[in-house]
Structure 1
Amino acid sequence: MPSPSHAVAQAKQALGARLREIRLVAGLTGRDLGDLTGWHSSKVSRIEHGRQTPSDNDISTWCRHCGADDQAGELVASLRTIDEMYVEWRRMQRTGLQRLQQAAVPLYERTTCFRVYEPSLIPGLFQTAEYALALMRAVVAFREIPDDSAQAVEARLQRQKVLESSDRRCVVILEEAALRNRIGDVEVMAGQLGRLLTVALRPNISLGIIPIRDRAMWPTNGFWIFDKERVLVETLSAELTVLQPREVALYAKAFTELADLASYGAAARTLIASAIAALDT
């Protein structure tokens, strides 16, 4: 998978290429468009080659003078995707982890369907306090940021309350490795796997587990789909936000394929029980 920074650069280039195509279809040169808009022709070139990010107004002006007003809305949506898609973890976490947990609350509260794929961790919505604390302490140590782990855990547990509403649905696909990747000690993992068995019984939650032996799709980062609105992808260095409808649909397609690989019901519970039994070895 390309790095987030590479993905941003590609997105800027793709936006510029679309704007160039609109200009060419309109039969305008870069100088022509510059004269119509009052811009220097070099600005047109920089935008088209992804070296300058246009504003919302730039896109609207471009489309208006090229007779393509009907395309302005989609292009502005693409621009906002670029603006939001790459946020460095260090900037988000510079004051600790609590603020980051709280910032996501509005998104969680307006989401009616969560689709979550995690290859190596139990997702935050299902975490026990002990598991979350062990994980956050590891993050704090690695990133060398202020330690507000206890407060961040409390904020994460508060966020889990969104699943108490029967109007919200949560579909989670885990790799079997997520059950066996030890976060904290044996007791912490036993408690976490036990909670997983419990939450999987809720009527608004669907839990699928992809057995290691059945892995048939290429490796990918974990990702969360919030309704059809956006996708969040967490990497080592950043959080990638995807808003472009075509890209959201691509993640939805990947989620469907991953879901087809998963085991459910009794078969999933057997995999969890096996992971619990393996804690004693």
Structure 2
Amino acid sequence: MQSPYPSAALDEARRAIAEKLREIRRDAGLTGREVAARAGWLPSKVSRLQSATTPPSDDDIRAWCTACGAEDKIPDLLAANRTADSMYLEWRRVQRSGLRRLQESRIPLYARTKTFRVYSSSVIPGFVQTFEYAAALLGNIARVHGTPEDVQEAAAARVDRSHIIRGGDHRFALLLEESVLRHVVGDVAVMAGQLGYLLSVMALPAVSVGVIPAGRERGMWTVETFTVFDDDRVSVELLTAAITVTAPGEISMYAHAFEEMKSLAVFGAEARGLISAAIDSLD
């Protein structure tokens, strides 16, 4: 059966909670229908919860454990459930208080990370965005997601946050699909300024920029944009959600995917040539 969850780590966490609920029911000597009757639910809800088809709410966990006489299990299950919730954050919920706060919320993570590995198949990474590009991009995001209109403040916060590429002991390895250079965000002037800035930051000692040429034969398919923070966590960007990956095995998979992408990319003069060609193509 296909998982209803977009991350293997999240799927594993949800299934572990479902299995624990099943074990609690069995230890109590109850059938699913009996748990449903005691909790005041339809039997189908019990089936969905213990098959991980539907994630439980905190109230569901309390009701399940109470029905099974296992109130002592509630604190650990609630903690596990909230950890799983943190792996998958709806953009609309995260952005509800405004895009500026979303930008600022990541400052502590950025400050403690030493090595950033970014693969982007969609847009210029935030670390190397100009204010104009960031404002145009965040304006599109605000429009699509219906978030509070604080685009100018959010763009300023993003650019301010990106100053870490110029100081400290951080290292940045960025890989871009060539299509990212050709996708115009804002207008031609904004895009030309962004690509020109990208050329300039390539000279920074802490920044490495690789471009994967379009049409190159490849053994690794284009995947969603992701950032690896040291070897501790991965942030994956989807249209409707941000997935945080913390399982070591899955972090290793993303690190391996980054190396696969890196083997396809060109650097130095070749990368600058592709960026310059993208600038020349702007009318």
Query: Under TM normalisation by the shorter chain, which class is it?
Result: 0.7 to 0.9
Secondary structure of the corresponding residue to residue 139 of structure 1 = helix
Determine the C-alpha separation between the residues in 1 that align with 2:132 and 2:50: 50
Distance in 1, Cα, partners of 2:107 & 2:3: 27
**What is residue 138 of structure 1 aligned with on the other side?**
140
Matching residue's letter, 1:279: L
The aligned length equals: 251
Q: 1:116/1:76 Cα in 2 relative to 1: closer, same or farther (>3 Å)?
A: farther
Q: Considering only aligned residues, what root-mean-square deviation do their CA atoms show, in Å?
A: 3.2
Q: For the Cα contact (< 8 Å) 1:129–1:153, is it kept in 2? A: yes
Q: Give the structure 1 partner of residue 183 of structure 2.
A: 181
| Structure 1 unaligned blocks of 5 or more | 24-28, 59-74
User: Compared with structure 1, are the counterparts of its residues 18 and 203 closer, same or farther at alpha carbon in structure 2 (3 Å cutoff)?
Assistant: farther
Q: Aligned to 1:277, which of 257, 261, 280?
A: 280
Check conservation: 1:119, 1:177, Cα contact below 8 A: yes
After TM superposition, give the deviation of residue 15 of structure 1 in Å.
Answer: 2.4
TM-score (norm 1): 0.78
Question: Judging changes above 3 Å, is the alpha-carbon distance between structure 1 residues 103 and 116 closer, same or farther for their aligned structure 2 residues?
Answer: same
Could you tell me how far apart the structure 2 residues matched to 1:208 and 1:47 are?
A: 45
Query: Who is 1:7 aligned against?
Result: 7
Verify: 1:248 aligned to 2:254, yes or no. no
Following superposition, the deviation at residue 78 of structure 1 comes to 8.0
Whether 1:229 and 2:259 are equivalent positions in the alignment is no
Alignment-derived partner of residue 194 in structure 2: 192
The answer as to whether partners of 1:85 and 1:240 remain within 8 angstroms in 2 is: yes
Q: Identify unmatched segments of 5+ residues in structure 2.
A: 40-45, 62-76
Instruction: Provide the rounded CA distance (Å) in 2 between the counterparts of 1:120 and 1:205.
Output: 19
CA distance in 1, matches of 2:79, 2:207: 31
Q: 2:119–2:226: 8 Å Cα contact kept in structure 1?
A: yes
SS in 2 for 1:272: helix
Inter-partner Cα distance in structure 1 for 2:11 and 2:4 = 10
Q: Kindly, what percent of the aligned residue pairs are identical?
A: 44
Following the alignment from structure 1 to structure 2, what is the Cα–Cα distance between the partners of residues 3 and 18? 15
Say if 2:233 and 2:251, in contact at 8 Å, map to a contact too: yes
Taking the aligned partners of 2:3 and 2:280, their CA distance within structure 1 comes to 37
TM-aligned CA deviation for residue 272 of structure 1: 0.5
Local SS of the residue matching 1:116 = strand
- 3-state SS of the aligned residue for 1:94? helix
Of residues 142-151 and 78-87 in structure 1, the stretch that sits farther from structure 2 once superposed is 78-87
Written as runs of structure 1 = structure 2, the 5 A alignment for 1:47-62 is: 49-50=51-52
